Amino acid sequence: MTEDWEPYGAACALLPERLRRTALGVDPARRERAEELRLRIGRPLALTLPEGEAALPGPAVESGDLTWVVDKATAFSRYAAGETLAQGFVTAEGGLRIGLCGAALAEGGENRGLRDITSAAIRLPRACPGVAEPLLPELLAEGHVYSTLILSPPGGGKTTLLRDLVRLLSRGGPLAGPLRVALVDERGELAAMCRGRPQLEVGPSTDVLDGCPKAAAVPMLLRAMNPQVIALDEIALPEDAAAVLLAAGCGAAILATAHAASAADLRRRTALAPLLESGVFRRAVVIEGRGRQRKCRVEALP
């Protein structure tokens, strides 16, 4: 992370002044542990901590506050962010992802965006250098990386773990590397690119493709960058699974995350079950617990 960038302060900068004062009044210890700032019309601003949500003393959120957040996040150009708005989120400078709820704008059976936004969740990206280091001996063999899935329920720390694993493999160490890593940062949460520079550390041998859907990004990277490892966050759709199979067929190791409590849980999901059946992934890292109780275990996949 660059020295002058701090996720909590960056999130506060997206808020209108009256809510910003409330958020900046949070004590440093809670700021450090904060995972999200949440806004809901008619409710006070809330802080998401590992142990749960905490309402902050201050005014209730109004409709105009949510409009302000979206306009600030999109640099007052909603049109440019139309594709992600249709998926229920926008990504602000620095990799701050804002999830949104409201009334969907449907056209021809497809969602075209949101109107009358009623709530927002500003997720705070965190760098935890070294968090993936204890896992490396189980994810590497003779200098090669096993294709690995990182699994947890939402908010379990998958993105943070993936980012650090990318950093370590790109940097290299006693067990392997440095390896050429291609990072597909579809929503800008992994590297948090700003004016061509990652705001979060992803390693010296990492090439970042920012803001591109995984299905389009993987073939592009295979043609252009000759990666040894391809990293992707939150595979969920059939086209994501197809992109993973394509990359594996070209000899690249795959690092990916998915929402699941375990490999058995993932097998019950129609879109992603073929990935496990294909044998592409040789390891699964399962994240259990929250906050300081969070633990990782590695499973060998058949």
The angle, 0 to 180 degrees and rounded to 10, between the axes of the packed helices 214-224 and 238-249 is 20
Tokens of 133: 């280091």
Residue 91 has a pLDDT of: 82
Residue pLDDT tens, the chain, 302 long: 444 568 899 999 999 999 999 999 999 999 988 999 999 999 999 999 988 899 999 999 999 999 999 999 988 877 767 777 777 888 887 778 899 998 877 666 666 667 789 999 999 887 788 999 999 999 999 889 999 999 998 888 899 999 999 999 999 999 987 999 999 998 888 988 766 788 789 999 999 998 888 999 999 999 999 999 999 998 988 889 888 998 888 999 999 999 988 888 888 877 778 788 888 999 999 998 776 678 899 999 88
User: How many C-beta atoms surround the C-beta of residue 31 within 10 A?
Assistant: 18
User: How many C-beta atoms surround the C-beta of residue 71 within 10 A?
Assistant: 14
Structural domains in the chain, CATH included, are 7-123 (3.30.450), 133-300 (3.40.50.300)
Coil, strand, or helix at residue 215? helix
Q: What is the phi/psi pair of residue 227, to 5°? A: -75, 150
**Residues ≥6 apart with Cβ < 8 Å to 108:** none
